[in-house]
């Protein structure tokens, strides 16, 4: 962990304007358009980023296509690509403090979490996929004696990657590392409210020896450069983490353009299910509070719906509320802070609207519910617990993406399953029980890509992350991520 004095020395450092990376060169947007990068810590302008035009995106895609066509990356031996990616990870690790502080200033995540979940995760992810490069083989099919069937794994081509603002480095490298390890070229579009660290690690990628044009970065509005990337006729596959509304637009763009493959991770409304045989209520409540309130609830897998069996509901909610009330919300650059800032003022407004709507529908705010620390100029909200949330309420169904926990009680296991599955989402879930049989039944019954039992969270790169229903398709993390970035090619040889 970093030293507070070292962090403080960087908290006011000037940040250079962000530019576009196209074909190995850093460029301004055509016409010089820029967007302000506003720090959620104090609401002040941190720097600017380029606002890419459609023409800029076309240039980036063309650079990626040229790099793929001449095989300057995909044609290198696996061991050579591995060496460059490992060097890239080493450079990120060597710049960990600068990158972490820059990222916290840009998106508001508490630094104690960002050090592990952002830079630490990025380094581990790149190293993990680098090490996998020369350990994944093709196949020989059990064909007839007169023929030989070979199955090759080939890179897809040009990948468009659109990354959200909550964990730009972690989620960004979940996409970049397997993409590059498989031999593809990529055009990366960071979120306009959190682009700075991805721009910086892209600079380090060039320093590590990644060939020019293999990694290109376009920043700016989703409705501008994001739309242009999704409509490009020369992008072979698109990977995205973000909202369902944007995911739908990307699927429409694919249908209207070249039918590019689109892989989506669209968030969730994850149930955290507590049975009356939970065991240690205090520990479970503490973990559950962290599972919704860390990073101000801006986590795709956050346990935002607490489904608690009626017999322990009062005790569990009281313990969770006590743990939440003790959490230190404040300056994200303070190592003692446990929950930082909401990413932007529009995001904070949206969260507060959810709270007001829940009260109108008859739910009760029992903790928090309001904006705090307004004197800082930043965007902060108290951890919020809302009781009596019914299945028909909007707060029960829709993703808030903020520090808001909806509490609903149930009587038995069947009702718990019914409530857990009563949303359009299916990304993650939690189950708390000391009954091993029940744990296995719930794992099978709850519709989610990830089910935690007697814990919540744990972003280990070795296991896949993906959702069902309207939480998306495809998987980040693990060897299964390669499925999005390789094509299977059959060679049928007559002997």
In angstroms, the CA 295 to CA 64 distance is 34
Average pLDDT in the 34-42 region?
A: 98
Residue with token string 């897809």: 156
Q: What angle do CA 192, 219, 381 make, to 5 degrees?
A: 10
Average pLDDT in the 276-303 region?
A: 97
Q: 332 to each of 112, 301, 335, 340, 382, how far by Cα in Å?
A: 8, 21, 8, 5, 14
Tens of pLDDT, residue by residue over 198-240, are 999 999 999 999 999 999 999 999 999 999 999 999 999 999 9
Q: Verify whether residue 54 is a known catalytic residue.
A: no
Tens of pLDDT, residue by residue over 44-85, are 999 999 999 999 999 999 999 999 999 999 999 999 999 999
Q: How high is the pLDDT of residue 385?
A: 98
Q: Is residue 270 over pLDDT 80?
A: yes
Q: How high is the pLDDT of residue 459?
A: 66
Give the rounded percent of residues in the chain with a pLDDT score beyond 70: 100
Query: pTM, whole model, 2 decimals?
Result: 0.97
Q: 315 to each of 278, 309, 420, how far by Cα in Å?
A: 11, 11, 21
Q: How high is the pLDDT of residue 133?
A: 96
Q: Tell me the CB-side half-sphere exposure of residue 34, using CA atoms within 13 A.
A: 15
Q: 405 to each of 47, 172, 193, 398, 464, how far by Cα in Å?
A: 34, 27, 25, 12, 26
Tens of pLDDT, residue by residue over 327-353, are 999 999 999 999 999 999 999 999 999
Tens of pLDDT, residue by residue over 83-133, are 999 999 999 999 999 999 999 999 999 999 999 999 999 999 999 999 999
SS (H, E, C) 233-286: CCCCEEEEECCHHHHHHHHHHHHHCCCCEEEEECCCCCEEEECCCCCCHHHHHH
Q: How high is the pLDDT of residue 31?
A: 87
In angstroms, the CA 110 to CA 120 distance is 14
Tens of pLDDT, residue by residue over 402-447, are 999 999 999 999 999 999 999 999 999 999 999 999 999 999 999 9
Select which of 265, 345, 359, 399 is catalytic. Answer: 265
Q: Token digits for 269?
A: 């409304």
CB of 462 within 8 A of CB of 478? yes
Q: Is residue 263 over pLDDT 90?
A: yes
Pick from 101, 113, 118: nearest CA to 39:
101
Task: List, in order of start, the domains of the chain with CATH numbers.
Answer: 4-266+472-494 (3.40.605.10), 271-460 (3.40.309.10)
Tens of pLDDT, residue by residue over 163-198, are 999 999 999 999 999 999 999 999 999 999 999 999
In angstroms, the CA 335 to CA 348 distance is 23
Pick from 135, 159, 195, 168: nearest CA to 65:
159
């Amino acid at each position: 962990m970093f030293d507070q004095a070292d962090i403080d020395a960087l908290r006011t450092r000037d940040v250079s304007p962000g530019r576009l990376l196209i074909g190995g060169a850093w460029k301004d947007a055509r016409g010089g358009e820029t967007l302000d990068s506003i720090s959620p810590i104090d609401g002040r302008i941190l720097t600017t980023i380029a606002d890419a035009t459609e023409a800029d995106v076309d240039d980036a895609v063309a650079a990626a296509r040229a790099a793929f066509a001449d095989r300057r990356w995909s044609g290198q031996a696996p061991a050579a690509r591995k060496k460059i990616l490992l060097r890239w990870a080493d450079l990120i690790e060597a710049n960990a403090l600068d990158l972490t502080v820059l990222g916290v200033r840009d998106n508001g995540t508490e630094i104690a979490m960002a050090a592990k979940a952002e830079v630490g995760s990025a380094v581990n992810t790149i190293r993990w996929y680098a090490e996998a490069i020369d350990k994944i083989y093709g196949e020989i099919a059990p064909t007839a004696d007169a023929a030989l069937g070979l199955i090759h794994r080939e890179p897809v081509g040009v990948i468009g990657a659109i990354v959200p603002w909550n964990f730009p480095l972690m989620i960004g490298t979940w996409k970049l590392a397997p993409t590059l390890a498989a031999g593809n070229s990529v055009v990366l579009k960071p979120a306009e409210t959190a682009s700075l660290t991805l721009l910086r690690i892209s600079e380090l990628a060039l320093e590590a020896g990644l060939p020019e044009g293999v990694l290109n970065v376009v920043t700016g509005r989703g409705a501008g450069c994001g739309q242009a990337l999704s409509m490009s006729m020369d992008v072979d596959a698109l990977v995205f983490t973000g909202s369902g509304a944007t995911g739908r637009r990307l699927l429409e763009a694919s249908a209207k353009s070249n039918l590019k493959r689109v892989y989506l991770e669209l968030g969730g409304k994850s149930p955290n299910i507590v049975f009356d045989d939970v065991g240690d209520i205090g520990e479970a409540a503490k973990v559950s509070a962290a599972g919704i309130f860390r990073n101000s609830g801006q986590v795709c897998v956050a346990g935002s719906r607490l489904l608690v069996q009626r017999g322990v509901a009062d005790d569990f909610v009281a313990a969770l509320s006590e743990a939440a009330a003790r959490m230190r919300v404040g300056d994200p650059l303070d190592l003692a802070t446990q929950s930082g800032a909401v990413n932007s003022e529009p995001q904070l407004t949206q969260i507060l609207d959810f709270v007001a709507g829940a009260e109108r529908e008859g739910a009760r705010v029992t903790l928090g519910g309001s904006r705090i620390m307004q004197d800082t100029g930043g965007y902060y909200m108290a951890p919020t617990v809302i009781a009596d949330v019914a299945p028909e309420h909007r707060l029960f169904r829709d993703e808030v993406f903020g520090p808001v926990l909806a509490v609903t009680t149930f009587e038995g296991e069947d009702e718990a399953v019914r409530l857990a599955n009563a949303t359009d989402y299916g990304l993650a879930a939690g189950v708390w029980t000391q009954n091993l049989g029940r744990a296995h039944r719930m794992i099978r019954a709850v519709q989610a890509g990830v089910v935690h039992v007697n814990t919540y969270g744990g972003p280990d790169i070795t296991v896949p992350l993906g959702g069902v229903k309207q939480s998306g398709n495809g998987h980040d993390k693990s060897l299964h991520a390669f499925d999005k970035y390789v094509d299977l090619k059959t060679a049928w040889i007559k002997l």
